[in-house]
Amino acid sequence: MSRLTITLSETRYRALKEASLQRDKTIGELIDESLEFYGIKSRSERAISYDAHELIAV
């Protein structure tokens, strides 16, 4: 798994940290879920999705 450094305001960081504690998830898991929610996928995930769509269309 790759690592990423981002810059957040102190207020945003505290809110993210608090949300992760409330949901019993890591900050990384919250970010990953958010990316999925917004439809941001890796190339391999898009390819799998495309292949599945092709099977359904046939």
Give the tens place of pLDDT for each residue, 6-48: 999 999 999 999 999 999 999 999 999 999 899 888 777 666 5
Give the tens place of pLDDT for each residue, 33-42: 999 899 888 7
**Domain residue limits, the chain:** 10-57
For 1-58, what is the HEC assignment? CCCCCCCCCHHHHHHHHHHHHHHCCCHHHHHHHHHHHCCCCCHHHHHHHHHHHHHHHC
pTM value is 0.67
